[in-house]
């Protein structure tokens, strides 16, 4: 992997975001762009913002500024659509504590939108994908299924009423979960997005040089995801994620193909996977309950060499 020789680099490529030390400040930098997954411009803009700032929260940081990146066909989308898109984004950025300070747009046949986000993090609060230690417990702060459900709804294989659960999840910021993790003494976290739970868990295992044990029956899934995955109604990304992760993942016989695909489902604005010291669980639980948020303990960290064990 590429490594920068600049001594200011604290966290380089391979984590959720880069971290750079400038004098006494640790800056967190990330960028994320997605294509439309809902029809309403305002909602899509808000989801894009929540998705983009999530990387900063995954590092234990605080987002401060954002630059918008927009690609669209000017013949197909007028000013009102773009205004609604930006309105949704700005409202969600404000909720996250960040300000939109500029951006760039290009002519593109495929609509896409996202942000380059800058934030800060205190050294003592820094969460890294490679910080997990044997004895830690694994917690997941959002249910899986955004990829499977949005794909199935678009193809007419699932009811549109299921979209509310998906949208509510994608709009939920990881701000409170990040603060809860830091306050409970966590040193490792990652947000579950395009590579699915398996992909991001595997990155954590490799980065920490340990093994992760995940109990599939404890992983929260959105409504109908289990049934859709069992029927093979999944996006191509889930299949590709599973193919890639299977090389370093041991599945028990109790985990069927549908279960494997559900764990590989590419998420948009997913939750945080946190490696938490067991003694910090009560404090984490209190912070999450105070924010009226749910989570699930899904596994543990053990000694190893960067592999996953799914039971």
pLDDT single digits (tens) 24-45: 999 999 999 999 999 899 999 9
Q: Cα separations (Å) of 157 from 65, 81, 90, 172?
A: 39, 28, 33, 25
Same domain for 52 and 133, yes or no, is no
pLDDT at position 2 over 70 = no
- pTM of structure: 0.94
Same domain for 120 and 217, yes or no, is no
The per-type count for the chain, helices as H runs and strands as E runs, is: 10, 13
Domain carrying residue 62? 9-124
Kindly state whether residue 61 falls inside one of the protein's structural domains.
yes
Kindly state whether residue 3 falls inside one of the protein's structural domains.
no
CA distance 121 to 142: 23
Residue 1: strand, helix, or coil: coil
Q: What is the pLDDT of residues 60-84, one digit of tens each?
A: 999 999 999 999 887 777 788 899 9
Same domain for 199 and 75, yes or no, is no
Same domain for 165 and 36, yes or no, is no
Q: Quick one: which of 17, 24, 14 has its CA closest to 62?
A: 17
**What angle in degrees, to the nearest 10, is found between the helix axes of 41-58 and 163-171?**
50
CA distance 266 to 107: 27
Please name the helix (run of DSSP H) or strand (run of DSSP E) that holds residue 94, with its range, or none.
helix 79-96
Number of domains in the chain: 2
pLDDT at position 4 over 90 = no
pLDDT in the model for residue 7: 75
Distance of CA 243 to the CA centre of its chain: 20
Buried residues in 244-262 as b, exposed as e (16+ CB within 10 A) = bbeeebebeeebeebbbbb
Q: What is the pLDDT of residues 119-153, one digit of tens each?
A: 999 999 999 998 899 999 999 999 999 999 999 99
Sheet strand arrangement including 112-120: 9-11, 18-22, 25-34, 112-120, 62-72, 99-107
* Radius of gyration (C-alpha) of the chain in whole angstroms: 19
Same domain for 119 and 134, yes or no, is no
DSSP assigned state of 14: T
Same domain for 139 and 87, yes or no, is no
Q: Mean pLDDT across the stretch 108-129?
A: 95
Domain endpoint, select from 93, 124, 155: 124
- For residue 26, how many other CB atoms are within 10 A of its CB? 21
Local confidence band at 1 (pLDDT 50, 70, 90 cut-offs): low
Same domain for 96 and 223, yes or no, is no
Q: What is the pLDDT of residues 236-293, one digit of tens each?
A: 999 999 999 999 999 999 999 999 999 999 999 999 999 999 999 999 999 999 999 9
pLDDT in the model for residue 3: 63
Q: What is the pLDDT of residues 176-227, one digit of tens each?
A: 999 999 999 999 999 999 999 999 999 999 888 899 999 999 999 999 999 9
Supply φ then ψ for residue 57, to 5 degrees.
Answer: -65, -35
pLDDT in the model for residue 269: 95
Q: Tokens 């997990």 — which residue? A: 132
pLDDT in the model for residue 80: 86
Local confidence band at 169 (pLDDT 50, 70, 90 cut-offs): very high
CA distance 72 to 127: 35
CA distance 249 to 129: 18
CA distance 239 to 118: 33
DSSP-assigned states of every residue in 226-247: HHHHHTT---HHHHHHHHHHGG
> What share of the chain in percent tops pLDDT 70?
98
Kindly state whether residue 110 falls inside one of the protein's structural domains.
yes
Q: Tokens 């749910």 — which residue? A: 294
pLDDT in the model for residue 95: 98
CA distance 269 to 256: 26
Domain endpoint, select from 67, 94, 124: 124
Same domain for 211 and 68, yes or no, is no
């Amino acid at each position: 992997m590429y490594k920068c020789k600049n001594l200011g680099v604290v966290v380089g490529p391979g984590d959720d975001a880069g971290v750079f030390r400038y004098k006494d400040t640790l800056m967190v930098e990330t960028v994320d762009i997605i294509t439309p997954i809902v029809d309403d411009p305002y909602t899509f803009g808000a989801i894009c913002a929540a998705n983009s700032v999530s990387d900063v929260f995954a590092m234990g940081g605080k987002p401060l500024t954002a630059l918008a990146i927009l690609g669209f066909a000017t013949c197909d989308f007028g000013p009102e659509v773009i205004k609604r898109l930006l309105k949704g984004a700005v409202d969600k950025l404000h909720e996250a504590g960040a300000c939109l300070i500029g951006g760039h747009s290009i002519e593109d046949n495929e609509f896409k939108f996202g942000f380059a986000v800058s934030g800060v993090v205190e050294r003592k609060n820094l969460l890294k994908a490679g910080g997990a230690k044997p004895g830690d417990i694994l917690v997941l702060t959002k249910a899986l299924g955004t990829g499977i459900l949005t794909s199935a709804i678009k193809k007419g294989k699932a009811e549109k009423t299921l979209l509310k659960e998906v949208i509510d999840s994608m709009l939920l910021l990881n701000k409170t979960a990040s603060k809860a993790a830091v306050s409970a003494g966590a040193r490792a976290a990652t947000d579950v997005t395009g590579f699915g739970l398996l992909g991001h868990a595997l990155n954590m295992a490799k980065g920490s040089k340990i093994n992760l044990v995940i109990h599939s029956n404890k992983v929260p899934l959105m409504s109908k995801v289990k049934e859709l995955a069992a029927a093979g109604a999944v996006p191509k990304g889930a299949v590709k994620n599973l193919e890639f992760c299977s090389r370093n993942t041991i599945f028990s016989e109790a985990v069927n193909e549908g279960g494997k695909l559900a764990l590989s489902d590419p998420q948009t604005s997913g939750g945080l996977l946190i490696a938490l010291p067991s003694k910090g669980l009560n404090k984490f639980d209190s912070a999450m309950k105070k924010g009226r948020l749910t989570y699930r303990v899904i596994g543990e960290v053990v000694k190893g060499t960067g592999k996953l064990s799914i039971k």
